[in-house]
Amino acid sequence: MGIPGTMECRFWARETSTEWWDHIVMEVWDDEQWLQNFRMRKATFMGLCEELAPTLRRKDTRLRAALPVEKRVAIAIWKLGTPDSYQSVANQFGVGKSTVGIVLMQVCRAINCILLRRTVTLGNVQDIVDGFAQMGFPNCGGAIDGTHIPILAPLHIGSEYVNRKGYFSMVLQALVDHHGHFIDINTGWPGKVHDGNVEMPIVILGDPAYPLMPWLMKPYTGSLDSSKERFNYRLSRCRMTVECAFGRLKGHWRSLYGKLNLAENSIPAVISACCTLHNICEGKSESFTQVWTSEVQHLEAEFAQPESRAITGAQRGAARIRDALREQF
């Protein structure tokens, strides 16, 4: 007698979730509800689906109907934008728990394949240089920094992923323009790696963790006179663009603070997809609420970023370039 009741309850739950997506979300929700739940307006979401459709569209089989592209993208966006578990997302959309994991990776890989290279890109270098010049630093082509993304303990060589704050993480290093848009990213490095170990592509501003190079300026350290303090202030002001970009990235895509429950070789694809979505949302001028900022600050307290270790020394000519900039300021 118990079995029919159980089956009926499960069937009812799935049908309710399908109704919620098909009719309430797609037909009733306004832009504010879309923004709060999917981190973007419906028009932006539908444009994203149109771009990804050739890769994500599946054919129906005799056994079951294929999930529509829109629902696939919605499942992935919901998982990326919330700290919800796979089971919770599955219940929300009326699909199986394993389906959520499969769809998440399908969508992230599609985003990276179709959109990453044309969305996370350098753009017009002169516009970037002019933008940073208006902020007080001439001849600057970008600001660079790294951030640690918390992950679960990897099955293999887990010690390599323990950072100096004692939690498992994977490093995202990013170069941003004056608007805080990602123009180059590198992810997948274990949390134990030093911030300055990854190659940088163009003339940029970094923190003390990076080596002083002719194409990479960093703050003065040690005893500072007024001119060095002025140089450091201008550099720090421009470098804030990358720190703000990381804050907005994590505010939009809160799964990056949820100890990503994925194999370590799948995590870089998710992080890269989030960076791509960040640029899409910023480019569409999607709103960013104060509530999301508060959430990020709370999560930052739980997973504090390891302190950078300063690299001393400089490549030949780099100190002279920095001094010339200081004198110009």
Indicate the pTM of the whole model.
Answer: 0.84
**Range of the structural domain that residue 314 is part of:** 125-328
Per-residue pLDDT reduced to its tens digit, 198-228: 543 345 899 988 888 888 999 998 889 999 9
More confident: 212 or 107? 107
Whether residue 91 is found in the same domain as residue 179 = no
CA distance 178 to 205: 11
CB of 180 closer than 8 Å to CB of 245: yes
Residue-level pLDDT at 267: 93
101 and 248 belong to one structural domain: no
- Domain co-membership, 205 together with 156: yes
> Do both 52 and 153 map to the same domain?
no
- For residues 303 and 257, state if they share a domain: yes
Measured CA to CA, the distance from residue 28 to residue 41 in angstroms comes to 13
pLDDT in tens, 146-189: 999 999 888 777 688 888 888 889 999 999 999 999 999 999 87
Final residue belonging to a domain, choices 67, 85, 119: 119
Q: How much is the mean pLDDT over the chain?
A: 86
- Domain identity same for 238 and 192: yes
Report pLDDT digits (tens) over 3-37.
444 443 333 334 445 788 888 999 999 999 999 99
Region label for 95, one of left (φ > 0), alpha (ψ between -120 and 50) or beta (otherwise): beta
Q: In total, how many domains does the chain have? A: 2
Q: Quick one: tokens of 282?
A: 């910023």
**Same-domain pairing of 142 and 233:** yes
Counting residues of the chain whose pLDDT is more than 90, the rounded percentage is 52
Contact 177, 128 (CB under 8 A): yes
Gyration radius of the chain's alpha carbons: 22
Residues 107 and 178 in one domain: no
Question: 209 and 70 in one domain?
Answer: no
Do 99 and 177 sit in the same domain of this protein?
no
Instruction: Tell me the per-residue pLDDT of 248-270, one tens digit each, with 9 for 90 and over.
Output: 999 899 888 877 788 888 999 99
In this predicted structure, what is the pLDDT of residue 5?
46
Hey, how many other C-beta atoms are within 10 angstroms of the C-beta on 245?
25
Q: Is the CB of residue 220 less than 8 Å from the CB of residue 235?
A: no
Q: Are residues 147 and 86 in the same domain?
A: no
Tokens of 232: 């450091």
